A = this chain, B = another copy of it.
Amino acid sequence: MDFTIGCTLPYRVKSPTSFVFNIEAVRHPGQVITAETLTLTPDAAVERWTMPESGNRYLRIDAAPGPFTLDYRAEVTLSPVLEAPEAVTEIPAKALPLSVLPHLWPSRYCQSDKLNRLAQRTFGAETPGYARVNAVCNWIHDNVDYVGGISDEMTSAFDTATQRAGVCRDFAHLAIALCRALGIPTRYVSAYAHRLEPPDFHAVIEAYLDGPSGFGWYLFDPTRKAAPDGLVRIGIGRDAAEVAFSSPFGDIVYDKPVVWIEPKRGTVGAVTTQAVRAEL
């Protein structure tokens, strides 16, 4: 499946500002970037860093006072792997690769340490594996209201567990915290998301499970708003703190960003009953 994706981020810069952006699609075997352009207006030097443990592509750009716009476009081919959910099980602690441990630890917005009993009480009896993570996502979908503007950048899973309202970011944080409390390594994924309405950067999760092709990261969208096989991944992290799409160090005003994704070739969205893995 091929997609064209992109975003336009317009700013009014008030003082000399260093921006760190994380908006480019990540590269991995299941997500191949066939064309890509980054346009800055006015033009500016770009410093790049790809985080080794995640592959996230961070850009730093120094902008002078005045209007500044970043425009990004890419052609991306996705080759997600679809599997039978009932064949995807959990991995006991003794068998987990030690390198996935960081995704078991509590993080800023995913306080799994404080949600341990809630997770055990509510999901302890679920069938381990894909079904249990799915039960977590269903529970969130059924018990948390999707309400724009009700949460903010400091809202965490601990808050949402009780306040029961939020946006995709909050849904993802709560799902991650609950899964980690259940002993399932889980991470945050920011993405361009086909069918998300209104279009925006989206947040979903990946849980580390044992499937027909071996251990790997399985995708879940607790909001159920996007097509699971129509997600172009940008950043992977412990939570939203790691994958902010824009971090300005300076005094700026931002105007509404435009985020888009268009399918170009192939069929999307026929996978609601299958487990999705972004790559082998």
Contacts and interface: CB of A to CB of B under 8 A. Distances in A.
Interface residues of A, number: 47
B99 A164 contact: no
A163 interface: yes
Contacts of A183: 249
A162 B114 contact: yes
A114 B164 CA distance: 9
A175 B153 CA distance: 22
Contacts of A242: 102, 105
A94 B162 contact: no
Interface in A105-140: 105-108, 110-111, 113-115, 117-118, 121-122
Nearest to A105: B241
A258 interface: no
B98 A18 contact: no
A72 interface: no
Interface in A213-267: 241-242, 249-250
Contacts of A52: 52-53
A154 B163 CA distance: 11
Given A107-B107, A163-B118, A153 B98 contact: no
A121 B164 contact: yes
A172 interface: no
A181 B145 CA distance: 16
Contacts of A105: 108, 241-242
A218 B163 CA distance: 28
A184 interface: no
Interface in A40-57: 47-49, 51-53
A118 B161 CA distance: 9
A47 B96 CA distance: 11
A93 to B, nearest CB: 4
A12 interface: no
A26 interface: no
A158 B154 CA distance: 12
A18 B108 contact: no
B154 A113 contact: yes
A70 to B, nearest CB: 16
13 contacts: A18-B93, A18-B94, A58-B101, A60-B94, A93-B249, A93-B250, A106-B108, A107-B241, A115-B162, A121-B145, A121-B164, A158-B162, A161-B162
